[in-house]
Amino acid sequence: MEQLQALQPTQYVPSTAPVPEGPIVVERGSSAQVFAPKLNRGAADVVRFLLEQGEMVTATMSLADEQMELFAMEVGAELILVDPGQQEETELQALFDDSDDADESLQATRPPIVTIMGHVDHGKTTLLDKIRTANVVAGEAGGITQHIGAYQVEKNGKLITFIDTPGHAAFSKMRARGAGVTDIVVLVVAADDGVMPQTVEAISHARAADVPIVVAINKIDKENADVQRTLSAVAEQELIPEAWGGDTIVVEMSAQQGIGIDELLEQLLVVAEVEELTANPSGRAKGFVLEARLDVGRGPVATVLVDKGTLKVGDPMVAGAAWGRVRAILNDRGEQVKEAGPSSPVQVLGLSAVPQAGDEFRIAPDDRTARTVADSRAQRQRLLAQRGDARTQAGVKLEDIFTQIQAGETATLNVLIKADVHGSLEAVTESLRKLERDDVKAAFVHRGVGSITENDITLAAATNATIIGFNVRPDRKVREAAEAEHVEIRTYEVIYKLIEDIEKAMKGLLAPEFEEVVTGEAEVRELFRAPKVGAVAGCFVRSGVVSRGSKVRFLRDGVIIWKGAINTLRRFKDDVKEVREGFECGISLTDFQDLKQGDIIETYDLREIERE
């Protein structure tokens, strides 16, 4: 009805209601229905006025900044436009009072929160299961009733909370969303296997979280176990054992046999005592969502970890864009409890929707506040999704360094380095260290040998790092993940070019002349020999278009082993100019014969670009 009235060709007459005094904060992209009431006007007033100005809008359309400013000027209101979420976060500070946090008289010792990390098959799951089963109440029917992703155990009359994450990638994804929920990391290393690539990744993720690391050398009962060799490998990662004069606690154990588990728990309590972990158990609770799911019959079920305060049944809760009154609280054994204090992992029932892992939860003053905040967040998520910008840009670009230097700030370039061999890795690292100045520091989030993986993207997103690849390339899935996470990947094959780019970035002169555009990717499936041609690769084009004469990188396990061009391209017996995704073809390369099944032929073009 309002829209029909707005179409009447009558002269606009503003409402006589006074506009609020002082600046009025409005989110960009608000509709007339949201914007008008803030100025004591109806949506029809805004629609009618803009129609008279030649702007065809409806009450539910997002308004441009100029449209809102024009209407505000007409009615005499002072307007401040903010990005989606800024107003809501400001309101949150007022709604959720954290003033008690700094009051030391209200602080109490809380249980440490421990995450177990390490390489696959090194015994993490066995260790977790052994710790849990050892703490099950004697005679409990059926043992552990359910798995909720986190649980508490008791040792010497004190509690320890364990978080069972799927891996270090999930650990950093939660950190990327702001959930710093871990106090101590237990790094599990198998005595018969030593430090492996995922072990090094786990160390990098733990260091990025800035938490103490306790090393658990597992499988010491194996015949081929070599504890001293494993200790040496751990020490090479700058985790020097206490027995060697360092400060890293090392526990030798066997999760399978139950050896050393008590000592590990005791050491965790020692570390927790040194860290002096405290929290305020009074007041409204807040914390983080560890995991959530939609349960048939019970609705949304969220596993949460309480950070401060006490969570109680009946509390109005906000978790991300979900809200609701806490209908029930279940502990890690599936038992219903009335409340949960700091460092307690519990399941919560009663939310309106399924929140995301890593979302912060808070207890609101009342239902109305909880619903308002949740609805505001849901609206913001929809708006950001429509704009195709579902998350703020995380990757730190080299171009940003000079801006920080000009502002008088110390610029820290977080980098994640992957190289083809250890020699290259050390050379790149040392070259970057030599470029450091008083106003520019390089922080190495992770360094490793091998191709760039999706785990690297996750870690880079969590730490605002730029990925530098030397003689290695990301595959299509990794590139897509980097684009989705807004992580910058820079690849080099000549070390002086890498150094030159960093130096130019520091001076604000970074201006690459060409941009590489990957045009196609083909996988070698079969190998043939042809007279006068030599080795011919029978390939399947996995993505893009492979063209004759294209520049080529030949990749084996993500590492560049040759560069050149396509010599011949055939479909069956016919020479063709190009082959598209989903088709098979035969490819021979200029002066390269070392072909193997599973190799990747990546074609690319160089496109000249101008940097603004």
Q: Is the predicted pLDDT of residue 390 greater than 80, yes or no?
A: no
Whether this prediction's pTM lies above 0.85 is answered by no
Pairing of strands 311-312, 150-155: unpaired
Pairing of strands 534-547, 578-580: antiparallel
Encode pLDDT of 446-465 as tens digits: 888 788 988 889 888 888 88
Q: Over range 115-136, report the average pLDDT.
A: 78
Do 375 and 424 fall into the same domain?
Answer: no
Q: Which of 386, 414, 434 is the last residue of a domain?
A: 386
Encode pLDDT of 269-308 as tens digits: 999 999 888 888 888 898 988 878 777 778 888 889 998 8
Confidence of residue 510 (pLDDT cuts 50, 70, 90): very low
Q: Give residue 399's pLDDT.
A: 58
Residue 97: inside a domain: no
Do 330 and 414 fall into the same domain?
Answer: no
Task: Quote the mean pLDDT of the chain.
Answer: 79
Q: What is the CATH number of the domain that holds 407?
A: 3.40.50.10050
> Residues 324, 317: contact at Cβ < 8 Å?
yes
Do 444 and 570 fall into the same domain?
Answer: no
From residue 374, give the alpha-carbon distance in Å to each of 226, 361, 367, 381.
54, 11, 11, 11
Encode pLDDT of 316-344 as tens digits: 999 988 999 999 999 888 889 999 999 99
- Cα separation of 361 and 84, whole Å? 20
Do 429 and 466 fall into the same domain?
Answer: yes
Give the domain range for residue 315: 286-386
Residue 239: inside a domain: yes
Q: Residue 276's closest CA among 175, 151, 184, 156?
A: 184
Residue 105: inside a domain: no
Do 365 and 301 fall into the same domain?
Answer: yes
Encode pLDDT of 249-265 as tens digits: 999 999 888 899 999 99
Do 152 and 167 fall into the same domain?
Answer: yes
Encode pLDDT of 134-179 as tens digits: 654 443 333 333 455 788 888 888 999 998 765 555 566 565 554 5
Do 128 and 267 fall into the same domain?
Answer: yes
Number of domains in the chain: 5
Do 582 and 507 fall into the same domain?
Answer: no
- Cα separation of 59 and 261, whole Å? 64
Q: Residue 310's closest CA among 106, 148, 88, 94?
A: 106
CA-based radius of gyration for the chain: 29
Do 521 and 567 fall into the same domain?
Answer: yes
Q: Over range 62-90, report the average pLDDT.
A: 78
Q: Which of 484, 511, 538 is the last residue of a domain?
A: 511
Residue 358: inside a domain: yes
Q: Which of 488, 511, 534 is the last residue of a domain?
A: 511
Pairing of strands 299-308, 345-349: antiparallel
Encode pLDDT of 5-44 as tens digits: 444 444 445 566 788 777 777 888 888 888 888 888 888 8
Do 360 and 290 fall into the same domain?
Answer: yes
Encode pLDDT of 517-547 as tens digits: 888 999 999 888 877 777 888 999 999 999 8
Structure tokens at 603: 């074609």
Do 553 and 536 fall into the same domain?
Answer: yes
Structure tokens at 73: 């000027």
- Cα separation of 553 and 488, whole Å? 20
Do 467 and 498 fall into the same domain?
Answer: yes
